[in-house]
Structure 1
Amino acid sequence: MDGSKVFCIGFHKTGTTSLANALTVLGYRVTGPNGVRDPKIEQNVQTMAIDLAEKFDAFQDNPWPILYREMDLRFPGSKFILTLRDSESWIKSQIKHFGEKETPMRRWIYGVGCPVGNETTYIERFERHNREVLEHFKDRPEDFMTLDLSNGDGWEELCRFLGKDVPDVEFPHANKAADRERKQSSWLRMFRRLRLPKAG
């Protein structure tokens, strides 16, 4: 690594895991999410973040999107990546994966614990975050990029931004429903092939 850090500052369920996997392929030491269940996350997050930032090269998922201003000041020359996703598909994914489960982290970020019943609050926070990030990094293309994996972005855009060679592997897409369905179908076909014929 050249010493610069990479902060993935898109909200969770925007392709953060896929981006983390891609950065790992490129040789970065990646961490996140961090402190999700810390009941005092708001008080502890700065100390935790600085400690982790000394040990890793790249940072994804919570709490990193909330800390982009602080990280930009503390680590000049770092790279910041905002992963994007359509608001409606994003909130559907939030509800599907988190439902009525609450965490201190989500309570801190959104002001409410779970997405179910709080869809408007979640979407407003999500969209406000994206607007503020775009405003903060405007006219800084050397430090900032947006990445929309749902729209076909992948290795080419990421590696151009980071100054890396494109690896000879498929871009890792994590947590995609289509991927899960393909895996389930594969296991079902394997089961059918291995199933013993009926007696008689």
Structure 2
Amino acid sequence: MRIIGVGFGRTGTRSLRVALERLGAGPCLHMQELSVGAHREREAARWLRAADGETVDWHEMFTGWQSTVDWPACSRWREVCAAFPDAPVLLNHRDFDGFYRSAERTIWAVRQAARAGTLGPRPDGEVQPAAFRHVLERLVWQGDFQGRFEDRAWMERMYDQRLAAIRAEIPAGRLVEWRLGHDGWEPLARALGVPVPDEPFPHLHHTAEFREQVGLGQSAT
């Protein structure tokens, strides 16, 4: 593994994935790979085992990948970082208000619509593996968020505690911080030991784009 992203989704992870691959640290595993990626059946099956608490071989889990950002890997950040002790650890984050609002209007909105039976088909016609939603439910909603997403105050404490734990447990020389809306190529290129590209940093998967892709439509502001 070239670099391990340990921050939650909805913190610029789609942009980071493209950036890391542009910098030579690809292919990069992102939750979208379990949903609509070319190898989604394989990846969903791999992570289903981890989501169900089975003992897994982390090197086998990341066969075919050189980096990761977003879920599912960030939900098991301690184990993944321990399995690849030489890889830099990327702590991607943003202010809590921005994170919560984005998550509420995207991944939470999808979950609620699916449960209500009002989520339509994806406009691109892609079909997610049956295991995908189980992985998402176990690792994100019942794992990281402990079934308390609607408790905003608890979520904010959890978010701050996760950032603090990563900063405390990962040595400073290994940790690379990247803040959405503030940082660009430089921290990533420095961690990977490659030149900074002479091009704009990618900006992908904002809320409106996400909602359109999954068939939710636009949300109220």
Could you state the TM-score of these two structures normalised by the residue count of structure 2? 0.67
The equivalences for 1:4-83 within 5 A come to 4-27=1-24, 28-33=26-31, 34=34, 35=44, 38=48, 41-44=51-54, 47=56, 49-83=58-92
> What whole-Å deviation, never above 9, does each CA across 1:11-40 have from its counterpart, x for those lacking one?
111111111110111122111215499497
**Cα shift at 1:119:** 2.1
Kindly report the root-mean-square deviation, in angstroms, between the aligned alpha carbons of the 2 structures.
Answer: 2.7
The equivalences for 1:1-200 within 5 A come to 4-27=1-24, 28-33=26-31, 34=34, 35=44, 38=48, 41-44=51-54, 47=56, 49-100=58-109, 101=111, 103-106=137-140, 107-112=142-147, 115=149, 117-138=150-171, 140-141=172-173, 143-151=174-182, 153-176=183-206
Could you state the TM-score of these two structures normalised by the residue count of structure 1? 0.74
> What whole-Å deviation, never above 9, does each CA across 1:37-85 have from its counterpart, x for those lacking one?
94971414x5274423232100111122232322232212111100121
| Number of corresponding residues | 171
Structure with higher Rg: it is 1
Change (3 A) 1:48 1:111: farther
Structure 2: unaligned runs, 5 residues or longer? 35-43, 113-136, 211-221
Change (3 A) 1:179 1:51: same
The AA in structure 2 aligned to 1:83 is N
Percent identity of the aligned residues? 22
Structure 1: unaligned runs, 5 residues or longer? 181-200
User: Contact conserved, 1:39 with 1:104, CA < 8 A, in 2?
Assistant: no
Q: Which has the higher contact order (CA 8 A, sep 6+)?
A: 2
